[in-house]
Amino acid sequence: MPELPEVETIRRGLLEYIPGLKISEVKVFCEKSFLGPTEMILGAKVCDLRRFGKALVIDLDNKVSIICHLRMTGQMIYRGKQAFAGGHPSESFVEKLPNKQTRVEIEFEDGSKLFFNDQRKFGFMKPVPTEEVLKDKFISSLAPEPWQMTGKELYERLQRHKGAPIKAVILDQKVICGLGNIYADEALFFAKIHPERKAGTISLSEAEVLVQGAREVMERSLEAGGSTMATYVKADGTRGNYLDLFAKVFGREGLPCERCGAEIVKIRVAGRGTHICPQCQRRES
């Protein structure tokens, strides 16, 4: 689930609580979720948290870093005197832990714990020497984030994938970094671009609006994401849907477009569920 804003929210949240904490125990419930020996991180203290696109990096004071990727259903849940959770919204945020979806449990010396939950097991934690983080195959090939990219630069990158649908291309982290299925749909709606249009037909000015849209939808989500827990689990314990806070098309099939009133529809593009306003996002033009 987590796209850039969610991962950044997790980074900021954990930054409040775990730096300085010493890892006293590591339990791996699923082998493929922790790629490396636990001894690499045992006894080390957390010193920093970094983010590269959707990847989270936990730096330790023994020259080791843990590269984490939540993929579709990953969650990071910290439980101590304070509690914090982020990632794919689910009951795991409030349930007793570890539970059936807990893949890794990291216990700190003060008794607090960090749980890595991941229903589908696509995500992972991987300890590596800190100096090798930037050489990691995934991290080293990431394109700049929308804030570091001009419309012209995106336009030029699109030319390398002229024949592919624009949505598939902006989901490619080597083209532009940070967008996932939700924000791709939201950014395309913002720019009034139909997701099936070939990337080669996107004009320079459209690419400029698209980058702007990517920035805006993620910034708005970041503002809302900062209170993911507060909105997901309301004070009375009931669930909330924080997507409602910013989504204009995602998950709104059947509802009226806020811009023109037409009905939002869900289609399939590049193998992914895709939400559009058929009125605002035309195939040609």
Partner DNA sequence: CTAGGATCCTGTCAGC
Partner DNA sequence: TGCTGACAGGATCCTA
Residues forming the site for DNA (CB under 7 A): 1-3, 5-6, 32, 53-54, 69, 71-72, 88-89, 100-101, 119-122, 137-138, 160-165, 168-169, 171, 173, 180-182, 199, 242-243, 268, 270-273
- 55-60 sheet: strands from edge to edge: 46-52, 55-60, 64-69, 124-129
**DSSP 8-class letter at 142:** P
* Shortest Å distance, C-beta 153 to DNA: 15
**Active-site option among 2, 146, 165, 195:** 2
Nearer to DNA, 59 or 186 (CB): 186
Q: Measure the CA–CA gap between 2 and 9, rounded to whole angstroms.
A: 10
Indicate the helix (H) or strand (E) that contains 129: strand 124-129
Whether 51 is catalytic is no
Residues 201 and 26 sit within 8 Å (Cβ to Cβ) = no
**Active-site option among 5, 6, 54, 165:** 54
β partners of residue 156: none
* Shortest Å distance, C-beta 56 to DNA: 11
Residues 154 and 207 sit within 8 Å (Cβ to Cβ) = yes
Nearer to DNA, 54 or 194 (CB): 54
Whether 3 is catalytic is yes
Whether 256 is catalytic is no
Whether 54 is catalytic is yes
* Shortest Å distance, C-beta 160 to DNA: 4
**Active-site option among 174, 266, 272, 278:** 272
* Shortest Å distance, C-beta 109 to DNA: 31
Q: Measure the CA–CA gap between 166 and 71, rounded to whole angstroms.
A: 22
Dihedral sign computed on CA atoms, order 29, 4, 218, 174: negative
* Catalytic sites, residue numbers: 2-3, 54, 272
